[in-house]
Structure 1
Amino acid sequence: MPVAFFWRKAIAGATLALAAAACQSNPETAETNAATTAAASPLTAGTWRGVLATQDQQIPFLFDVATDDGQPTVTLRNGEERLKLDEITTAGDSTTIKLGVFDAALVVRAAGEGKLTGAWVKYDAGKPYRVPLTAEKGAQPLFPVMADQKVLSFDGTWKVSFKDDTGNTYPAVGVFTQTPAGVTGTFLTTTGDYRYLSGQADGNQLMLSTFDGSHGFLFTGRQPGSTTPDNATRLEGDFYSGLTGHETWTAVKDANAKLPDASALTGMKSGQKKLDFSFPGIEGGTVSITDPKYKGKVVVVQLLGSWCPNCMDETNFLAPWYAQNKQRGVEIIGLGYERASDDEATAKRKLTKMKQRLNVGYDLALAGTADKDAAGQTLPQVQKVLAFPTIIFIDKKGEVRKIHTGFSGPGTGQYYAQQNAEFNKTMDQLLAE
């Protein structure tokens, strides 16, 4: 994921009183209060449509409410993705839904039968971060569409260019699948993908959104000019992210569109072949690349952050891979780069939660803050850190053989499969040496 979006400056604005109260305390506070306050949750079983109101836009998302052992659970739905949320507490008229591994929550209360109001709250943003939220129960389309309107086809692969509000541009590839039920797909960039997007086509308009707990994204696109063709060939649109993130984008249909080689974007500095680091482990002690545990083994060093959805996608691949392959003489070290607002204890707590929820069996250490330049300073042998996540492949001699920038998650389909096949090919080659 382009790091620019992780570091947009949040602006404080007047929002719901409920949201303001929610942001004054850590989610653990609500959990403590809930232990002494008996209250009924406003969440009732069924499908709900939520809407985040930000930047004069509406970012819609769907979620299901169910009951597990007498307790409500919420499952976010993004295309084929299902994200189950089971840390839910109610105190008074306020219900807090913790958003998985992320230090964020939905804080809601009833607003009439089958309706909710509240906010999406991020506790680690450094400044107040509250996005007003409403939700309504009942099967509904993600985006409303006009009836009896000719719909263009946006299906296929697109060569895309994004431009931020400062004029900086970066390349991307859009991949969309369109059916009568709607449009799904994603955008791939050199630093990661925008995960599972879903939405609708309406005339010459394309509307896509996602909400994974850490990010709320809205993409709007349109074919300029005539709506006569059956297939769109050019697009222009806007990309809204959370409170303040905004970019524009243009695209042309191109079945051969591709990104630069992710393994050629950065490397080691001239004359450098080995990493040299020692960081505090999240379970005590230190984790050093020179530890005897790693000597003579193939080692994968993963740069990640618990705040980063692409990093969670990569970890969901690496954790089971390590469990199945560690006996082959391979180790993985996860280096965590957390929010600048976190103290060491808080950062370790977040990484520990991630380790537990994703069943991570390899070593994790706290390496620094979630800033590319700062991360580069913690690994001075590397030319530069371009993205979270990044993977560094080290051979049995302790020498760096390849650095892979970014990660294409399961929402990218064939690109995800190709990337993981390349990972396995690299590991097989290094293990065979």
Structure 2
Amino acid sequence: MRYTILASLFSFLILMACQSEQGPLAPIKDKSLEQGAWRGLLRLNDSLELPFELAYDGQSWEIINGEERILLQVDSLGPDSMRWTLPVFGTYFNIKQLNRHQLRGEWVNSQKEDYRLPFKAEAGQAFRFGPKTAAQSSLAKKWAVQFSPQDSANSYPGVALFELDPQTSILKASFMTETGDYRYLAGEFKRERLQLSAFDGAHAFLFTAQRQGDGSLWGQFYSGKHWSTYWRAQPNPKAQLRPMDSLSFLKEGYEKISFSFPNSQGDSLSLEDERFEGKVVIVQIMGSWCPNCMDESRLLEEYYRRYRKEGLEVIALSYELPKDMDNFKQIEKRLRTDLGISYPMVLAGPADKKAAAKSLPMLNHILSFPTAIIIDRQGKVRKIHTGFNGPGTGDYYEEYREELAQLIEQLLVEQ
């Protein structure tokens, strides 16, 4: 009897180890689950659920965010349970299979303390908020937005970009702000009511609004389980924000920046190193927890590979929570694997704008993660670009891609 109990305890400990965040997990290929479209729901609070779209082809799972597809790493936790790990951010779902049509579990953001959201999913639901129907009315494509309009101290502007399909009422959207965009949003506009959501592994966004009699939109914006604010919008084809290269700048008396931060091998890197001497350098202020930083990293890696032989260098200053080297080593490995980053990264400090500003005292402030500082061959700062409008913003993203490429090419030919 004693040996039976010990053996059972040993088996239980092995199972629990396999379910730990770092434990080895075996690939799972469960063909009993229904293939095709699934609808996932994250419970933000007792009365609010955030929907998102999933697809399963018998081998792999994907999260669908508008034009974006996020491939999940699927591992077995047991005969009827599994873990989905999201790329880049390292967050995950622990899931129990109820039957071939239903899943239950929780989403865990391990970078935040005790951050868990209940989750469920059901097969055969190829929609986000409701079945597809013809749109009852039209919606302007561009809107001037004010977030927290009733709180002047915390109010901030935005620009909404909407694309409504009149045949299905499906609405694709993004919101641009002075610190970046809210990436790929999708939902519907029916009976003068707007609903949008996005889930990318780091942020869970939910927008609701009702069109008012004067043509404006008035609604609420929810981010995760802790934060929400009101927002209002007016259709405005000329809506714009302050230029992103005007928001951060060098303090008077400075024309260069300097720093010295450790990389994952324990070596300190600075712009005075031989590697950067006489090069055009882009200094990326970022964090692994930041979806806009993920989008910017993909673009910087593309340009790093294109222009490196001509004299371009990129270095990422990573501000993380928690700020410790063991955590940073795991983060760097994940970003190099999931995003293909090959340029150097250093651990610059905690994920806090005030702390980041203290680490770079020649700047007026750090307004946003990410921020890109473009430096010429003489080491002088030529441009500081605050925030990032990614591929979810369409033409705005393409314009910045072209603008950045032209600036890099201009600086590369200068002596």
Pick from 21, 41, 48: which aligns with 1:51?
41
Aligned equivalents of 1:305 and 1:368: distance in 2?
10
CA displacement, residues 236-269 of structure 1 (integer Å, 9 cap, x when unaligned): 1110111111011000000000110000001011
Q: In structure 2, what is the Cα distance between the partners aligned to 1:354 and 1:44?
A: 32
Counterpart in the other structure of 2:357: 376
Equivalent residue, structure 1, for 2:62? 75
Counterpart code for 1:257: A
For residues 216 and 385 of structure 1, do their structure 2 counterparts lie closer, same or farther at Cα, with a shift above 3 Å needed? same
TM-score (ref. length: structure 1): 0.86
2:210 match: 222
Instruction: Name the CA shift for 1:274/1:33 in 2 (closer, same or farther; >3 Å).
Output: closer
The structure-2 alpha-carbon separation of the partners of 1:324 and 1:78, relative to structure 1 and needing over 3 Å to count, comes to same
Distance 1:381 1:28 in 2: 46
Task: Give 1:259-270 correspondences, 5 Å limit.
Answer: 259-270=241-252
**1:131 paired to 2:113:** no
Per-residue CA deviation, residues 5-37 of structure 1 (Å, 9 max, x unaligned), is xxxxxxxxxxxxxxxxxxxx99972563645x9
Give yes or no for the alignment of 1:422 onto 2:403: yes
**Residue 98 (structure 1) aligned to one of 73, 77, 85:** 85
State the partner residue of 1:336: 318
Q: Give yes or no for the alignment of 1:61 onto 2:59.
A: no
TM-score by structure 2 length?
0.89
Q: SS of the residue aligned with 2:57?
A: strand
Query: CA 1:146–1:80 in 2, change beyond 3 Å: closer, same or farther?
Result: closer
Q: Does 1:209 align with 2:197?
A: yes
Give SS of 2:275's match.
Answer: helix
Q: Partner of 2:5 in structure 1?
A: none
| Distance of 1:304 and 1:43 partners within structure 2 | 39
2:105 maps to 1:115: no
- Measure the CA separation in 2 of the matches of 1:131 and 1:335: 30
1:361 alignment counterpart: 342
In the aligned structure 1, how far is the partner of 2:385 from the partner of 2:411?
A: 15
Whole-angstrom CA distance in 2 between matches of 1:57 and 1:43: 27
Q: CA deviation at 1:166?
A: 5.9
Asked if the contact 1:220–1:237 (Cα under 8 Å) also holds between the matched residues in 2, the reply is yes
| Structure 2: gaps of 5 or more residues | 1-15
Q: Distance in 1 between matches of 2:61 and 2:144?
A: 36
Larger mean Cα displacement after TM superposition, 41-50 or 283-292:
41-50
Q: Distance in 1 between matches of 2:69 and 2:36?
A: 15
Match of 1:8 in 2: none
Alignment of 1:2-21 (within 5 A): none
**Higher RCO structure (Cα 8 Å, ≥6 apart):** 1
Q: Report the Cα offset of residue 387 of structure 1.
A: 0.5
| Structure 2 counterpart of 1:151, one-letter code | Q
Post-superposition CA distance 1:285-307 (Å, at most 9, x none): 22111101111111000011111
* Counterpart Cα distance in 2 of 1:98 and 1:347: 18
1:111 is paired with a residue whose SS is strand
Match of 2:145 in 1: 160
AA aligned to 1:124 is Q
User: How big is the alpha-carbon RMSD for the aligned residues of Structure 1 and Structure 2?
Assistant: 2.3
Distance between the aligned counterparts of 1:88 and 1:194, measured in 2? 30
SS at match of 1:346: helix
Q: In structure 1, how many angstroms separate the alpha carbons of the residues matched to 2:351 and 2:344?
A: 19
Name the CA shift for 1:38/1:373 in 2 (closer, same or farther; >3 Å).
Answer: closer
Give 1:357 deviation, angstroms.
Answer: 1.6
Asked which structure has the greater CA Rg, the reply is 2
Q: Quote the residue 2:128 is aligned against.
A: 142
Aligned to 1:299: 281
